[in-house]
Amino acid sequence: MRRSSFVGLLSVALVAALPLGCADDGPAALDETTEGPTSPQGPQATPPNVAPTAVAGPDQAAECASHAGSSVTLTSVGSGDSDGQITLYEWFENGTRIATGPTPTVTLAYGAHTILLRTTDDDGGTNDDVVMVTIRDTRAPTVAMVVSPTSLWPPNHTMHVVARGASASDVCDPAPALHFAITSDEPENGLGDGDTAPDWAVQAAGASVADVLVRAERSGLGDGRVYTISATATDRAGNGSSAATGTVTVPHNQ
Ligand SMILES: [Ca+2]
Ligand SMILES: [Ca+2]
Ligand SMILES: [Ca+2]
Ligand SMILES: [Ca+2]
């Protein structure tokens, strides 16, 4: 008995003496990365203490207000302790403590969140409750596209940027998808010497940003070529933008 106690003490002393990289982390009492509860535990109390009641409030939904999500106020109204008082309110998501206090305001990202409230009473008893909070995105993204130049000359079969930095933006989604539909009123190929394909291209220029190029080309037998460019965006919630459009002509003659 005495021997094993001594061995235990020795082990502790050795571990404490090891040059650990994180040895200067300081007190861990408020460490937000400490693994916390991921599912509600039910009432925990040692008699005669009665466990507190935890009420995490009704499920909530809020419109996403920024790329960071939305601010939501959590409420524990209805929580209490029949033989004492609650001294600690802790809110966890996936085992990480995200807030303390009876009515904290937190910023939650787009999507569904399961938040666990743990109440602790003045005798160390605990009880948990869960609230669902959904940050939704119902607003469509927008597209900005300026087509310039709108006419290309000479028709020497070279590619030209005609929409530089076309972009999609969204209140909630930091990187909405940008789509282009480009058409020509002439066939892409088969118009004689020097005809080259493809006649248009989209080059990514960053997240949700792109340049559009078209070829300075037209049929010598036609009335000039017209390219029509349409840009739309879709956010991750599936909301679609209205289209931004423009045309570029390659005239038959100057
Ligand atoms: Ca109690
Ligand atoms: Ca949106
Ligand atoms: Ca062509
Ligand atoms: Ca034409």
Transcribe 93-116 into DSSP letters. ETTEEEEESSS-EEEE-SEEEEEE
Distance 151 CA to ligand 3 centre (A): 17
pLDDT of residue 193: 63
Q: Residue 160 C-alpha to ligand 3 middle, in angstroms?
A: 13
Question: Ligand 3 centre from 158 Cα, in Å?
Answer: 10
Distance 107 CA to ligand 3 centre (A): 52
What is the β-pairing status of strands 60-63 and 126-136?
Answer: parallel
How close is the Cα of 95 to the center of ligand 1, in Å?
24
The domain ranges of the chain are 32-136, 142-250
In this prediction, residue 232 has a pLDDT band, given cuts at 50, 70 and 90, of: very high
Ligand showing the shortest atom-to-Cα distance for residue 44? 1
Q: How far is ligand 2, taken at its centre, from the CA of residue 134, in Å?
A: 14
CATH class name, domain 142-250: mainly beta
| Fold of the domain spanning 32-136 | Immunoglobulin-like (2.60.40)
pLDDT tens sequence across 175-220 = 999 999 999 999 988 777 677 889 999 999 999 999 999 999 999 8
pLDDT at 115 > cutoff 90: yes
The bound ligand whose nearest atom lies closest to the alpha carbon of 184 is 4
CB under 8 A, 24+ apart: contacts of 189-195: 191/217, 191/218, 191/219, 191/220, 191/221, 191/222, 192/219, 192/220, 192/221, 194/157, 195/157
User: What span, in angstroms and rounded, lies between the C-alpha atoms of 214 and 149?
Assistant: 11
pLDDT above 70 (res 130): yes
Two tokens, residue 184:
């020509």
Q: How confident is the model at residue 33 (pLDDT cuts 50, 70, 90)?
A: low
Give the amino acid at 124: G
Same CATH fold, 142-250 and 32-136?
A: yes
Among the bound ligands, name the one nearest to the CA of residue 191: 3
**pLDDT, tens only, 239-250:** 999 999 999 999
Could you tell me the distance, in angstroms and rounded to a whole number, from the CA of residue 219 to the centre of ligand 4? 9
What global pTM score does this model have?
0.77
